[in-house]
Amino acid sequence: MLDDLRSRQAALAKRAGEMAGYLGLEDKRVRILELTAQTEQPGFWDDQQKAQDSLRALSKEKAGVEPWDQLLSRLEDNTVLIDLAEEAGDDEETAAEAEAEVLACEAELGKLEVAAMLSGPYDDHDAILQLAVGAGGTDASDWTEMLLRMFTRYAERQKFTYEILEYAEAEEAGVRSATIKVKGRNAYGLLRGEGGVHRLVRISPFDSNARRQTSFAGVVVIPDVADEIDVEIDEQYLRVDTYRASGAGGQHVNKTDSAVRLTYQLPGFDKPIVVSCQNERSQHKNRASAMSVLKAKIYEIMVRQKAERLEDLRGKVEDFAWGNQTRNYVLAPYRMVKDLRTNVETGDTDGVLDGDLDRFIEAYLRQNAGEHA
């Protein structure tokens, strides 16, 4: 047992060491020392903006180095633990502790390797997810709400925070659309692969004959870059509507016209961009949040220069129906979730719908490694 543990431990240490070299951790450590020295200089706060930029850079460098240093330290400590188990005559209790640590380090290394793939310019940003009902009637609106829960549960699993910016209830059950902002390091990088059409097959809880129903919902994922980009909003193309909030969020639901809907007719495109926000009690704050989402969506259009028209850009996610799905969730007659891009599948449908998306996210990132670099 100890020989196997020692072998696995050595393989882990080799992998971690190779990744540390690939990521240039030594250079990052030198950069941390330089930035730390800057913060200790007299007059550091004389230029507030420069000081804040330096602190952000220092925080970012530390966030990229510290998890690896902690893992490398754990691996070194575990090597000592394996040696102790051997010196004690193959002590089973110590060996079991060492094996548990090997498993934990394997899992941690996997997470760090995934994080290392998040090298896109906005991968470390917050994410904005827009969900919209597709084909399938009442089942589809219920399915859209199930997806909303799935993503919020994923955020909680990652220790991210989230805000529901907009929530439009459907007539019978579920939601017609919802917008959420997920806040946390690498939130966009991790979630960007969740964009697309999600298809559900199940016995319909809304069918008195208990027949199988197929329903669809679409998800659009964009980075929250509103504070970092200069996007000009031409007021002549912007319409602002206010209405009473409804559904989840808002203690003042249906009492004041605090919810805001922005409709922007981007010049040169046939279809307008529509953004709503209702999570704040203040109409002014809702407008500010909606404007941030609008700017992010406009920026997304700007960087996709190959899309000549807005419907070309959004075509895949506007037709939330057969032939366009990126992931299938089957709850009857068998249980399986399968991503059609990576072919990753699992029978743990309950876990997936409860936010366990790691296997799909990791496979997508590995398949598209370097695409956003």
* Separation CA 331–CA 229 (nearest Å): 43
The predicted-structure confidence for 53-88, as pLDDT tens digits, reads as follows: 999 899 989 988 999 999 999 999 999 999 898 888
The predicted-structure confidence for 244-280, as pLDDT tens digits, reads as follows: 776 554 433 444 568 898 999 877 777 888 888 887 7
β-strands 238-243, 259-264: how paired?
A: antiparallel
* Separation CA 194–CA 197 (nearest Å): 9
* Separation CA 313–CA 311 (nearest Å): 5
pTM over 0.75: no
307, 313 contact by CB (below 8 A): yes
* Domain annotation for the chain: domains and CATH numbers: 2-116 (1.20.58.410), 122-368 (3.30.70.1660)
The predicted-structure confidence for 301-312, as pLDDT tens digits, reads as follows: 766 644 344 344
β-strands 325-330, 196-203: how paired?
A: parallel
Sign, CA torsion 284/290/296/299: negative
Average pLDDT in the chain? 86
The predicted-structure confidence for 163-214, as pLDDT tens digits, reads as follows: 998 888 988 899 999 999 999 988 999 999 999 999 999 999 999 898 999 9
* Separation CA 191–CA 188 (nearest Å): 5
Q: What pLDDT sits at residue 23? A: 84
Backbone angles phi, psi at 124, to 5 degrees: -85, 5
* Separation CA 247–CA 24 (nearest Å): 48
Alpha helices in 117-220 (DSSP H): 137-157, 187-191
Q: What pLDDT sits at residue 323? A: 60
